[in-house]
Amino acid sequence: MPDHDFRSPRLFVDAPLSGGSTVTLDRDQSNYLGNVLRLSAGDTVLAFNGRDGEWRAEISGRKRADTLTITAQTRAQDSLPDIACVFAPLKHARLDYMVQKAVEMGAARLQPVLTRYTQVSRVNGERMRANVIEAAEQCGIISLAEVADPVPFERFLAGRDETRLLVFCDEAAEVANPVQALQAASTIGGIDVLIGPEGGFAEEERTLLLRQPKTVRLALGPRILRADTAAVAALALVQAALGDWRG
């Protein structure tokens, strides 16, 4: 595992980062550093923007934290495995949880899809992105997952790259060893991990999925999982069998 600094506070800043540069903090960032973390001028944080790696930065400001002076790079920019978490949106807190855990699991793209039994038709993209940033700040992640706009299920299937592996989590599938099923698959072109809604897929949706090329249909064990739990379980299996957990 890389040698991370787990003690220093981390802050996402949407600005270029390089040695000697200065970043102006917005009101929320200033409040977070000064009033939540109780940091002041001369204290240091780790800053990242998802593009230029991670940098140590010194806080400046008389009455409150106003700016960061970028001093030295602590880690070079990395890249995420080409894994997309494709999911039917959930209600507020459970969607927040799913997004945060997908980021922690290393997903590079978050794609909401609207299925027949999807519980929620509207998705707050800004809230999703805020959860992406928060998870990255807390877990030492320096590459940010992309947040895509919701699309209807059929449009997603019609527009996806068919060279990508589609991992289709289906409670109606026969229970078998999921690791063996994944290890037998080809990952050239990336991986889409699809998690359905609480009510499951409609039969016509399942039929469309089974017609997709390069599809692995998985049952996640003998128990029915909630959708947010299923996302974590599926991403863990994919990372262990095909992703960057293998070293």
Taking only the tens place, the pLDDT of each residue in 160-203 is 999 999 999 988 888 888 889 898 887 778 999 999 998 889 99
Residues 70 and 184 in one domain: no
Measured distance CA(122)–CA(42) in Å, rounded = 44
**Per the domain annotation, does 5 fall within a domain?**
no
Taking only the tens place, the pLDDT of each residue in 127-153 is 999 999 999 999 999 999 999 999 999
Taking only the tens place, the pLDDT of each residue in 5-22 is 778 999 999 999 999 999
Q: Residue 1 pLDDT > 50, yes or no? A: no
What pLDDT sits at residue 3?
65
Residues 144 and 175 in one domain: yes
Taking only the tens place, the pLDDT of each residue in 86-112 is 999 999 899 999 999 999 999 999 999
The model's pTM:
0.92
Q: H/E element holding 166? A: strand 165-169
What pLDDT sits at residue 94?
93
Q: Residue 246 pLDDT > 90, yes or no? A: no
Residues 56 and 134 in one domain: no
Q: Percent of the chain, pLDDT > 90?
A: 77
**Per the domain annotation, does 2 fall within a domain?**
no
Q: Which residues form the domain of 97?
A: 83-246
Residues 148 and 50 in one domain: no
**Per the domain annotation, does 98 fall within a domain?**
yes
Measured distance CA(236)–CA(123) in Å, rounded = 25
CATH of the domain at 47: 2.40.240.20
Across residues 57-65, what is the average pLDDT? 89
Residues 32 and 94 in one domain: no
Residues 105 and 69 in one domain: no
Domains identified in the chain, total number: 2
Residues 45 and 136 in one domain: no
Residues 204 and 123 in one domain: yes
Average pLDDT, the chain: 93
Measured distance CA(105)–CA(184) in Å, rounded = 21
Across residues 114-133, what is the average pLDDT? 93
Residue 234 CB neighbour total at 10 angstroms: 25
Residues 42 and 130 in one domain: no
Residue 102 CB neighbour total at 10 angstroms: 28
Across residues 40-46, what is the average pLDDT? 94
Residues 113 and 68 in one domain: no
Q: Residue 57 pLDDT > 70, yes or no? A: yes
Residues 51 and 132 in one domain: no
